[in-house]
Amino acid sequence: MTAVGTVRRRAILGAAVALAAPSTLRTQNYPARPVRVVNAYSAGGTADVVCRVLCAGLSMRMGQTFTVDNRPGAAGTVAAQIGAHAAPDGYTLLYDATGQSVNPSLFGSRLPGGPLGIGPFAGRQAEVFPEWKRQILALAALPNVVVKLGGLTMYVTGFDFHRRPQPPGSAELAEAWRPYIETCIEAFGAARCMFESNFPVDKGMCSYPILWNALKRLAAGAGADEKTALFSGTAMRVYRLTRLPDGLAIDLASR
């Protein structure tokens, strides 16, 4: 067994395949040709039916064909690899769900994602980190991939804040997370990174305000444009949001 564990979940520094490149989605005539939807599930199952219903609706609404391409196998990894390596032009979408969360137990260190710190990897963060970083750097070379930064207070990461009599403060969390967060930002650039809370899952180790204050501490040395990307800009671009929700004011002051 290797000294590296990885968890491929959206919430744990997972690489989220961008469903389309921002420059493409902003154009007035998108989609100008048929769109391929890579489906991680076998034809005929419930998930496949849902995918086909969604594609039919998109075809009607957007005036172009959204074609389902079933690529099951390896608990979704086959489809995810196709999506990650596709041209970042918005014409290859990935349809997948929770299967990626079980892949580490099946494929071990061959999959990039978040660091695993439980089971045989408990207490071995110093050994896990170099291999995890190598995989993140390789993943960052794929232009069709953006990354969510969060989920590090989930039990599977190996941090033990939930066992303490008092929860951690934002300064302690920031220092614990710094190697992982900074590695991802350096590899992907702020324009391909977005902070997330992963609440309510993460509330087992810290409070909501403390989590965001920790992220603000980690971004304290970034420039204004980088902070905007990390806290809102990347998410708005990737999810095609035209504005922030009403009443949402971003306070970037560290506490």
pLDDT of residue 65: 94
CB atoms within 10 A of CB 208: 12
Q: What is the pLDDT of residues 170-181, one digit of tens each?
A: 999 999 999 999
pLDDT of residue 209: 93
The phi and psi torsions of 69 (rounded to 5 degrees) equal -120, 95
Q: What is the pLDDT of residues 1-20, one digit of tens each?
A: 333 343 333 333 433 333 33
88 band by pLDDT with thresholds 50, 70 and 90? confident
Alpha carbon distance 116, 128 (integer Å)? 8
3-12, 45-54, 107-116, 152-161: which has the highest mean pLDDT?
45-54
pLDDT of residue 254: 59
> Identity (one letter) of the amino acid at 120?
P
Q: Average the pLDDT over 110-121 and give the result.
A: 63
Return the exposure string of 144-163: e unless at least 16 CB atoms fall within 10 Å of the residue's CB, then b.
Answer: bbbbbbbbbbbebbbbebee
Radius of gyration in angstroms for the set of CA atoms belonging to the chain, rounded to a whole number: 19
The DSSP line for 68-108 is EEE---GGGHHHHHHHHHS-SSSSEEEE--GGGGGHHHHHG
Q: What class is the 6-238 domain? A: alpha beta
Q: Please give the residue that has the higher pLDDT: either 107 or 249.
A: 249
Q: Average the pLDDT over 153-181 and give the result.
A: 88
Kindly tell me if the per-residue pLDDT of 252 is higher than 70: no
Alpha carbon distance 176, 181 (integer Å)? 10
Alpha carbon distance 92, 82 (integer Å)? 9
Domain ranges of the chain: 6-238
pLDDT of residue 36: 93
Q: CA nearest 180: which of 222, 215, 232?
A: 215
- Tokens representing residue 132 in the block: 């995890």
pLDDT of residue 138: 87
